């Protein structure tokens, strides 16, 4: 009997009967329901059900695809806002959050403005949110307001020092390694050295390197007759700075236009870093063109577009699935014709298909050189510091494809593995040119080894 009823529902559902499909969903047959709904995507009513299902399953890209294709009447404003936010279309996310209008949404809208560097608007929205938020929700909003006010003040006075930024950024690593605690008022003995080695490994400095640092320290301790741990701290800094000698580099933007290729695996922070670099250059009065060479998914192009408008650059893009090399060709041609100073190329980073990826990157470079034989002046590999030393493996694969001229290390602000930077330098010997210390448009710094070590060991 039950069996009969179930197949009856499925039969109706297959014919596009909404209540039958809803029943399937209620009964947990979501895969089937989704498949059926996808066949009826053209139907306005069923499309709404499909959107809600995608949303529920955190399938933001598909939900976004529906919004793109059929216009923004699906779901509720709150759901749409979340989808837009997740795929990085901040302008539309903002619009939708403001439509919802409760304290939570206004606060989210304020946060988007904060992250995109629109601090004046962020302040206005966060204050509005604070005025209508329940007491229990006020603290985090107040903290954000504080941060934005600081930003506004700092921007006038010129930003906080690099050391400060590194200090803040490396908080998580420091918490994990507790070097400060370790070096405080301890006797210098074997136990201390063991612990030191352990915390260095924990910060992902690498086993071999950690061991050699500790060996070096032991010798120094004997030679200089060091008996209290506090004195070891300065020696540790000295050794680390020695290891990092030569690791600093500056972006090479020679030529007009100069071409910057940006590589890295999915989620490493390529697009964000491109946005930050672009902002830096346009602030210097440069004419910058972004090229959406990640044609693998539509949202990637959207994301780059959002950064492009924030940074005030132009963008060259094509539809999802286009040949990346052809987008690059178009971009470089346009940059030459229209006198751009710098072209920055975003690329796709799916590593699970290694060979095609390598071929694609080589092809992109070839296309660049067909038009501009001296370029790219910079091939920048973006590595995520939160995955620590695993990024070394990734880097090696990208090295197979192209000569990498510089590294950008991202998310140093959220990483307990900030020590991996040392291992990355030791292993790869490619200059570290930039570090990402937050999600905001100004959260990018030139790498400075001294400041990094000071912040790490302090």
In the block, residue with structure tokens 């699935």: 321
Of 303, 302, 397, 300, whose CA–CA distance to 357 is shortest?
Answer: 397
Residue 376, binding choice from Mg ion, ligand GTP, none, Cβ under 5 to 8 Å by partner class: none
| Binding span for Mg ion by CB under 5 A among 74-82, 174-182, 294-302, 324-332 | 294-302
Compare residues 303 and 342 and give the one whose CB is closer to ligand GTP. 303
Residue 437 interacts with ligand GTP (CB under 6 A): yes or no = yes
Residue 114 interacts with ligand GTP (CB under 6 A): yes or no = no
List 9, 107, 173, 271, residue binding Mg ion (CB under 5 A): 271
| Binding span for ligand GTP by CB under 6 A among 216-224, 264-272, 312-320, 321-329 | 264-272
Compare residues 300 and 383 and give the one whose CB is closer to Mg ion. 300
List 85, 197, 294, 305, residue binding ligand GTP (CB under 6 A): 294
In this structure, how many other beta carbons lie within 10 angstroms of the beta carbon of residue 26?
10
Q: Which residues in 128-187 contact ligand GTP (CB under 6 A)?
A: none
Binding mask 333-362 vs ligand GTP (x if CB under 6 A, - otherwise)? ----------------x-------------
Residue 273 interacts with Mg ion (CB under 5 A): yes or no = no
| Binding span for ligand GTP by CB under 6 A among 190-198, 241-249, 420-428, 434-442 | 434-442
- Token representation of residue 298: 């539509």
Residue 411 interacts with ligand GTP (CB under 6 A): yes or no = yes
List 137, 202, 267, 330, residue binding ligand GTP (CB under 6 A): 267
Residue 431, binding choice from ligand GTP, Mg ion, none, Cβ under 5 to 8 Å by partner class: none
Compare residues 130 and 281 and give the one whose CB is closer to ligand GTP. 281
**At residue 291, what are phi and psi to the nearest 5 degrees?**
-120, 125
Residue 308, binding choice from Mg ion, ligand GTP, none, Cβ under 5 to 8 Å by partner class: none
List 258, 272, 295, 375, residue binding ligand GTP (CB under 6 A): 272
Residue 347 interacts with Mg ion (CB under 5 A): yes or no = no
Residue 433 interacts with ligand GTP (CB under 6 A): yes or no = no
In this structure, how many other beta carbons lie within 10 angstroms of the beta carbon of residue 94?
24
Residue 258 interacts with Mg ion (CB under 5 A): yes or no = no
Compare residues 247 and 410 and give the one whose CB is closer to ligand GTP. 410
Nearest residue to ligand GTP by CB is: 436
Binding mask 217-256 vs Mg ion (x if CB under 5 A, - otherwise)? ----------------------------------------
Bridge partners of residue 406, in order along the sequence: 380
**3-state SS track over the chain:** CHHHHHHHHHHHHHCCCHHHHHHHHHCCCHHHHHHHHHHCCCCHHHHHHHHHHHHHCCCHHHHHHHHHHHCCCCCCHHHHHHHHHHHCCHHHHHHHHHHHCCHHHHHHHHHHHHHCCCHHHHHHHHHHHHHHCCHHHHHHHHHHHHHHHHHHHHHHHCCCCHHHHHHHHCHHHHHHHCHHHHCCCCECCHHHHHHHHHHHHHCCCCHHHHHHHHHHHHHHHHHCCCCEHHHHHHHHHHHHHHHCCCCECCCCCCCCCEEEEEECCCCCCHHHHHHHHHHHHHHCCCCEEEEEECCCCHHHHHHHHHHHHHHCCEEECCCCCCCHHHHHHHHHHHHHHCCCCEEEEEECCCCCCHHHHHHHHHHHHHHHHHHCCCCCCEEEEEEEHHHCCHHHHHHHHHHHHCCCCEEEEECHHHCCCCCHHHHHHHHHCCCEEEEECCCCCCCEEECCHHHHHHHHHC
Q: Closest separation between CB of residue 417 and Mg ion, Å? A: 22
In the block, residue with structure tokens 């989210």: 108
CA quadruple 120, 124, 127, 133: dihedral sign: negative
Residue 390 interacts with ligand GTP (CB under 6 A): yes or no = no
Residue 264 interacts with ligand GTP (CB under 6 A): yes or no = yes
Compare residues 324 and 414 and give the one whose CB is closer to ligand GTP. 414
> How many chain residues interact with ligand GTP (CB under 6 A)?
21
Q: Which residues in 439-458 contact ligand GTP (CB under 6 A)?
A: 439, 443
Q: Closest separation between CB of residue 268 and ligand GTP, Å? A: 4
Binding residues for Mg ion, rule: CB under 5 A, are: 270-271, 300
Binding residues for ligand GTP, rule: CB under 6 A, are: 264, 266-272, 294, 300, 303, 349, 410-411, 413-414, 436-439, 443
């Amino acid at each position: 009997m039950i069996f009969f009823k179930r197949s009856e529902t499925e039969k109706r559902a297959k014919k596009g009967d909404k209540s039958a499909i809803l029943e399937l969903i209620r009964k947990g047959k979501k895969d089937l329901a989704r498949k059926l709904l996808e066949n009826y995507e053209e139907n306005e009513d069923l499309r709404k059900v499909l959107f809600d299902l995608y949303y529920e399953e955190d399938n933001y890209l598909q939900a976004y695809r529906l919004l793109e294709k059929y216009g923004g009447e699906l779901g509720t404003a709150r759901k749409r806002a979340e989808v837009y936010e997740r795929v990085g279309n901040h302008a539309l996310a903002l619009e939708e959050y403001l439509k919802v209008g409760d304290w939570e949404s206004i606060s989210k809208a304020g946060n988007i403005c904060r992250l995109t560097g629109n601090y004046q608007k962020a302040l206005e929205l966060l204050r509005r949110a604070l005025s209508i938020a329940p007491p229990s929700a006020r603290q985090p909003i107040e903290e954000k307001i504080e941060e934005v006010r600081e930003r506004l003040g700092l921007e006038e006075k010129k930003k906080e020092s690099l050391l400060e930024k590194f200090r803040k950024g490396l908080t998580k690593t420091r918490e994990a390694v507790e070097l400060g605690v370790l070096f405080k008022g301890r006797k210098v003995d074997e136990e201390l050295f063991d612990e030191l080695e352990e915390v260095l490994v924990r910060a992902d400095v690498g086993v071999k390197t950690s061991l050699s640092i500790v060996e070096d320290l032991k010798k120094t301790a004997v030679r200089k007759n060091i008996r209290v741990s506090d004195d070891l701290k300065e020696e540790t800094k000295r050794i680390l700075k020695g290891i990092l000698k030569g690791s600093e580099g500056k972006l090479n933007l020679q030529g007009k236009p100069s071409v910057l290729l940006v590589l890295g695996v999915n989620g490493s922070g390529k697009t964000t870093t491109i946005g930050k670099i672009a902002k830096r250059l346009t602030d210097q009065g440069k004419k910058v063109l972004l090229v959406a060479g990640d044609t693998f998914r539509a949202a990637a192009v959207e994301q780059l577009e959002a950064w492009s408008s924030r940074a005030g650059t132009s963008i060259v893009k094509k539809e999802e699935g286009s040949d990346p090399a052809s987008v690059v060709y178009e971009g470089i041609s346009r940059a030459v014709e229209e006198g751009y100073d710098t072209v920055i190329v975003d690329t796709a980073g799916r590593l699970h298909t290694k060979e095609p990826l390598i071929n694609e990157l080589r092809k992109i470079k070839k296309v660049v050189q067909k038009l501009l034989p001296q370029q790219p002046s910079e091939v920048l590999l973006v590595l995520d510091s939160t995955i620590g030393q695993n990024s070394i493996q990734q880097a090696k694969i990208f090295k197979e494809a192209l000569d990498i001229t510089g590294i950008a290390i991202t998310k140093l602000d959220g990483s307990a593995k900030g020590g991996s930077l040392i291992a990355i330098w030791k292993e790869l010997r490619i200059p570290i040119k930039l570090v990402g210390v937050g999600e905001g448009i100004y959260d990018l710094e030139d790498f400075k080894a001294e400041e990094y070590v000071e912040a790490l060991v302090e």
